[in-house]
Structure 1
Amino acid sequence: MNSLYTSGVRQTTSLQADLERLRNGDTSASLLGQISASLAAMSRTIDDYDAMAKREMIKAKQEKAQMRVQKFRSDYTEFRSQFETLKADALEQQAASQRAELITASATPDTPSDTRRRFQTTAPPQSTLHPGLRPSNQPETISESPFRSATPYDSYNRDFRALDEHSFIQNTESRLDEFLAQGREVLDNLVDQRKMLKGTHKRLLDAANTLGLSRQVIGWIERRSTQDMYIFIGGAVFTFFCFYLIWHYFG
């Protein structure tokens, strides 16, 4: 449970740093995806920590863990609201900059060659529909003249391309979020495994030191036992010799 708490604190610190970068003007797609993945990982960590806190047997530790869970949940809610607000502001700024670029581009006068090329007729893109499903009134040539009325094919083509681009962007964003979340999870697992291995290594060293001390004590006891045996044998021989002298001279 301590490892989950440490992971939650580390994720909180990382999210604070990422939100500060976003607040300072870094609106890159990688940063947005990283923050989304961090929020998802933090939500899973909070749920796991809450589940472990409910299984805690000691009442004091359980209450302390529940307080930490409440703190994590409040931080998560605050981070989520800040991210949504900053993301909306960033998207609005990007849209404003794109509108300004379009206005600037439209205000730039065209050269005569550009004007002639715009009014030239171009061949329409090859349709992938079945011949029976193609519109019968589809023109063979498409002119970019402003006096030409829009055809159903133009509207269909624009809608199809816009839908395709939107789907591609959404799929790319979701894949990036998944990759970032997986990377975060793998990193957290590696950190937890490193801590566990360090603890195991420390316990093994303690056990080795304890075994070494035990061996020294056992060797010292064995040597002491051998010395005591020699002292006992010598004392017994000396006692029997004294008995013999007493029996010989006083018997």
Structure 2
Amino acid sequence: MDALYHTTNKTIHEIQQCFQSLNNPGIDSIAVENEILTKITAVNANCDRLDVLVFKVPAATRSGAKMKVDQLKYDVRHLQTALSLYQQKRQRREAEATEREQLLTRRFQPNADTTIDLDYSLQHNTQMHNAHKGVDEMISTGSNIMDSLKFQRDMLKGARTRMVTIGNTLGLSDHTIRLIERRLTEDKYVMLAGMFVTLCIIGLVIYLCL
């Protein structure tokens, strides 16, 4: 199990390095994205295998092994989210570049009656389109943040249960356990505050656009 764990952890570091290379000029982003996706698939497969192997380790070290596997899952989940966001941004940039190129290469036939109407309605429609696009991006980002927070919450709950079990085994003091529970409560309030602020910003943007 240790060999598979170290191999998977090494692959995660390689994925992080691939993300850093995406910022280099002249890089083939499509090829790098495919490489990242392949490595993420391999990590997920290894995590599934590790879930099976963790139950074969001695009971005394099983909790620690399970925490390591959960950390790998947590890391790869964030990498998947980062890849999805990068692909969305790249697709938007490509679409904007295509539209700009089409506009610059479009040829108009001479016509004495042709006029360009840039009235208030057209400008308002353009502004509304841009505002809707911005709100969609905020909602998408907020959804990814919510998924990440939910995953972290589940991780913390699982960690709390394991810590209580380990604490009972190792004889942790009641004071230490109370500190852990207080930290979990504080994290919950931080998550709720973040959700409230995000909803307020989205509501304000929609109100200003309308």
The TM tier, using the shorter chain, reads 0.3 to 0.5
TM-score, length basis structure 1: 0.40
Q: Which has the higher helix share?
A: 2
Q: TM-score, normalised by structure 2?
A: 0.48
